Amino acid sequence: MTESYNSVRLSFRAVFAHGVVGVGLSAALLACGEPEEPARSSETAPPAERLQAEPVSGAVYHTELTFVGRGADPSLLHLRFDNRTDSASIHLRYRGWFGGDEWREILDQVDSLPVPRAAWRILPTGPVRIVAGEGGEPSSVILELAEGSLRLDSRGAIGSWNSSTGQRESLRLAELLDESGAEAGLLLARQRARRIDEPRGVGPGQYFLVSDTAGNGLLIMRESTSPDAPVTVWTWFEDAESEWDDALVLTLAAADDSPGRWSFELPEAGLLGELRGAGPGLSDGSAGDGGFEVFRVEAALLLEGQSWTMRGIGVQELTLE
What per-residue confidence (pLDDT) applies to 203?
63
Q: Say if residue 307's pLDDT is above 50.
A: yes
Phi first, then psi: what are they for 93, rounded to 5°? -135, 105
209-235 exposure pattern, b = at least 16 Cβ within 10 A, e = fewer:
bbbbeebbbbbbbbbbeeeeeebbbbb
Among residues 119, 96, 122, 98, which one has the least CA distance to residue 108?
A: 96
- Among 88-92, 148-152, 173-177, 196-200, the minimum mean pLDDT is found in 196-200
Average predicted confidence (pLDDT) for the chain: 80
With beta carbons less than 8 A apart as the criterion, state whether 310 and 210 touch.
yes
Candidate ranges 17-31, 201-215, 301-315; pick with highest mean pLDDT: 301-315
Q: Say if residue 179's pLDDT is above 70.
A: yes
With beta carbons less than 8 A apart as the criterion, state whether 266 and 246 touch.
yes
DSSP 82-134: EEEE-SSEEEEEEEEEEESSSEEEEEEEEEEEEPPS-TTS---BTTEEEEE-G
Q: What is the pLDDT confidence band of residue 316, given thresholds at 50, 70 and 90?
A: very high
Sign of the torsion formed by the C-alpha atoms of 311, 147, 102 and 61: negative
With beta carbons less than 8 A apart as the criterion, state whether 250 and 263 touch.
yes
- Among 24-33, 41-50, 67-76, 311-320, the minimum mean pLDDT is found in 24-33
- For residues 63 and 165, the model is more confident at 63
Q: What is the pLDDT confidence band of residue 48, given thresholds at 50, 70 and 90?
A: very low
Distance CA 99, CA 77 (A): 6
Q: Say if residue 19's pLDDT is above 50.
A: no
Q: What is the pLDDT confidence band of residue 206, given thresholds at 50, 70 and 90?
A: very high
Three-class SS string for 179-212? CCEEEEEEEEEEEEEEECCCCCECCCEEEEEEEC
Among residues 295, 298, 80, which one has the least CA distance to residue 210?
A: 298
Q: What is the pLDDT confidence band of residue 1, given thresholds at 50, 70 and 90?
A: very low
CA angle 300, 293, 45 (to 5 degrees): 95
What per-residue confidence (pLDDT) applies to 201?
61
Amino acid at 66: T
Tell me the per-residue pLDDT of 154-170, one tens digit each, with 9 for 90 and over.
998 899 888 877 788 89
- For residues 89 and 16, the model is more confident at 89
What per-residue confidence (pLDDT) applies to 318?
74
Distance CA 142, CA 154 (A): 12
Q: What are the residue ranges of helices labelled H in the chain?
A: 5-16, 46-53
Tell me the per-residue pLDDT of 283-296, one tens digit each, with 9 for 90 and over.
887 654 448 999 99
Tell me the per-residue pLDDT of 104-143, one tens digit each, with 9 for 90 and over.
999 999 999 998 777 888 999 999 999 977 655 678 999 9
What per-residue confidence (pLDDT) applies to 39?
38
pTM of this structure: 0.83
